[in-house]
Every structure is written in C-alpha cells, then in structure tokens.
Structure 1
Amino acid sequence: MSPALSPAGRRTAAAVLTAALLVPLAACGNDDDNGDGAEKAAGDSAPKADLTVLAASSLTDVFKTAGAAYEKENPGTKVNFSFAGSQELAAQVKQGAPADALVTADTKTMDGLESDTGAPSVIARNRLVIAVGEGNPKKVSGLKDLSDSELKVVLAAPEVPVGRYSKQILDDQKIDVRPVSQEPNVRAVLSKVELGEADAGLVYKTDAATATEKVDTVTIPDGENAIAEYPAATLKTSEHAEAAAAFVKWLSTPAAQKILKNAGFEKPQQQ
C-alpha cells in the first residue's frame, strides 16, 4: 500500500496536475494569437461546392474579381459565372438550366422569377452614360443630340434592362431616337461604339469604364438619368443551396462591396 501523502504533499501534487492541464489550453491560445484559428474559421464559414452563377453582362469584369476573392476566402469552393443579358438569363432559369444563383441588372426581371428564386437582395446600383468614340468626334453633349438623324446611335433592345432604362430616360425627355441597331446586351452596345460602327450608345457607367482607351463618355445629369438596381438570389433548383446562399449573402459584405465600388458601382439604397 502506498504511504498517505501529507497535506503539503497533496497540495504539491494538485499544483502539478493543474499546470499539466493548462499547457494544452495555453497552446490553443497561442494559435488564436497567431490568427490561424480565425483563418480556419473564415475558410470553413461557407460550405464547399462548385457554384454556377448566372449574372448580367454588365457584371462581367467585376464578378471575375469578386469570384476570385470569394474563392480565396473559401478554399475548396469554385465559382463559375455565365454572363448574358438579364432577359436571356431569365429564359435559362425558366428552361431549368443547372445553376445555383442569379444576379440581374434590374428588379423587374428578378420579380418575374419569384417562383424560381429565393428572396432577392439588391447588391449594387448603376447609372447610364452616353458612350462615344475616342475624342468625341461628333461632339455629342447630351441626350438631345442623340435625335440627330445624321448620328449613328445604337441602343440595347427594349426587353433588355439597359434598353428599358434607355427608353425610359429618352421618353421622359421626349427625345425621339432612331437607332441603327438594337443589341441583346450592354456589352454589344459598347462594342459597336468601340469598333466605330456607331457614333454613340447608351451604356452603364461601369461598362464604359472598362473601355477607356477606345471610348469616351458624356455624363447624363441625375435629373435625366435612371438608376439600375442589381438584385441577387439563390435558385430553388440549386443542388448546393447552402453554398449558394452563402455566396449571395457575401455579395453584401464590406469585402464584396469594396470590389463593386472600385469598379464604379454604387451601394444599394438600404446600405
């Protein structure tokens, strides 16, 4: 039988045991101080999945940057984008195209898909400008100049959000424009001006900003302009519902909003 410990001996043994138990806890605290624990938490915050996001053409450049940032924050997740005019994206959703989330360039298109999506949230806003050739050779100064019959003007088709916004602001100012063509998305309008196939076209400010070496812009006063809103939503047919919801939610975070702002987009009204 082991001899009984004296009171002093029992106190010494208890102190040794307590110290031994505190060592692992201290090690855990050191990991947190180094930031490793926080990084792991951030990386594990969203379910891992290969996501397909249908997005409006005007988001092409900024979403490539945003997607890369999201993948970096969430290792193991891949974000694949399919860009097209919002009306084309809506048709794809109605036809059951396999995708996880949708971002359109207007609330009207999204509202028409209420039975196919989760609750949408506006993640950004945009404005229109007049895109003209480099140096503005035709001396376009405002919307009224677009009615000049000698000016080759290109617009987006009226069923496209940017085309609908264009029609709205021209009708409000009672300006009659006869476009030489009506394009399926904003990038096609911009391309016509870039290539010199049109003298002017109405595009989003952010799209014009991607082609500053080939086009100039004429600002449209706020009182004559329209505000484009970009809602994002998950798709009910997504096979990665949690991962899709995490990405849509991330689009409203400060990190994503900074990327959108740097590309020229404006914050949603509620932010």
Structure 2
Amino acid sequence: MQKTFYQKELLIKAVQQRKGVNNNKKDVEKIQSWLNLFAMQNPNSGTATDIDGDFGPATEKAVLNFQKANGQPQTGNVDQNLFDKLVSPLKKAFESPISGNNLRELILNTAQNHLKNHPFELVINNQSNTGPWVRSYMDGHEGTEWFWCMGFVQAIIDQAASIQGKNFKTLMPLTYSCDTVGTTGLQKKILTRYQTARTNSALIKPGDIFLLQKTPNDWIHTGIVTAVHADTIETIEGNTNAGGSNNGNAVMNKIRNYKQSKLDFFSIESLV
C-alpha cells in the first residue's frame, strides 16, 4: 500500500493516565478522539469527553466507562492493549482480509468494509475535518480546509489494488484534489462526461469514480460507484452526509440520480 499513515494512528508511545509522567498531548488527543468515536456508536456508554490533550478527571472517567463497557479491568489508564481496543475499527478497515474475483469487486468490498467500521470526522480545536479517520485518509493532513472525499477514494483504491500487487498511482497521481483527478481523466481520455453518461449507462461501472462537476474543469466532490441502475447510481463516499454534502462528516452509502446531476465518471479500467 502507498497510503500507510493509518499505521501511526494505531500506536501510543507510553501508558497514558491521569497525572502520568509519560503523558503525551498527541497521544491523549488520540485516546480522547476514540472515546468520542465510541460514544457515537454507543451513546449510553458515557465515553464522550473534550479533546484537549489533557488527561484529567473527565478523560479518566471516560476511560473507566469504556473499560466497563468492554469488560476490561477498570484502571482508568490506557496502555497499548487498551488502545488496540479503542482503535480496532480503524485497524479492521485497513487490515481485514478482503476477497474479490477482480479489482472492481475488491474495490467494492474494501469500501464496504470501511463503511461498516463507521469512519467519522471530529471537530478538534474548532477545526472540522479532523481526527484519526481523516488523518488516515489524508496522509496526516487535517483541518477545516482539508476536504477528505478524494483521500477516502484513493485510500480504497490503493488498498484494493495492493491486494493484486498493483500501484494505484499508475492510474492517477496521489492527490487530495478532485480537480487533479478530473484533469487526469481528461488527459488520459478515461473521463466520461455527464452528458454522455446520461444517455449510455453502460459506460458507468461499479468501482469507477464519480466526480461532481461545478464547471467543466472544476469538480467539488467524489465517491466510488457501487451499483448502476436506470436513473440512479449507488455510491460509497467520504466527507459527506445524508444530504450529499461535499463537506459532510462521514463515510456513507448514498443514492444519486446521475440523470439529474452533473456527475462525470473516471474509469478505473486501465488498472483492472
């Protein structure tokens, strides 16, 4: 795999605890982030807490509640073993075995595996587009200006292609920009414009990438096509929400009407 930053998100340098001499602000922020992500999926767990890098009484109580919810000894301390449990969704997303008969199936199955592990961004220091999922998709970058939809798409294609020993960068450059991928598609003549796609759905295939067009050379959102129907496509996309925003906060499975939207399609066929 080319995009391996997620591995740094799986580790802490030392045991983190209240008044701990080895406490590290970034590691405490990681712990607090995962406590909040756990709370989103388990709202009665009592693990939501501020993300400020300070392992105070509130963080200690959140850790105790996480330990209780997971049947762990209630120490209030976080060692690597407990952190492994906190970060297990990320590890499962990037490291679970993925099967598929071809690259397209591998892409779909990889995307589905990420989706079921609930990737979600956080707001840290008043900055959206932050947290361990965003950093993993964006190679360490995070913050309000770092829209992460293309980072997600490339992480999925990279992970799937690497299973077959392929390098996704032969298809497109490593980038976080929809414009860069759209321009690459035009240069390689593998981008189907929305006007053509509307009249010939056979040109759209599962595993391809949609690009939401603002103007002919400006694209503002992206995702992976998972199914094609008469008027609609099904997708898995990052940095979106129920309304289909290009700056939402989650990975979601969505339905889009490609005959009423300006959706261009980037073909992955040359990588297949």
Whether the TM-score (by the shorter chain) exceeds 0.5 is no
More helix by share: 1
TM-score bracket relative to the smaller structure = under 0.3
In terms of Rg, which structure is larger?
Answer: 1
TM superposition score normalised by structure 1: 0.24
Larger relative contact order (CA 8 Å, sep ≥ 6)? 1
TM superposition score normalised by structure 2: 0.24
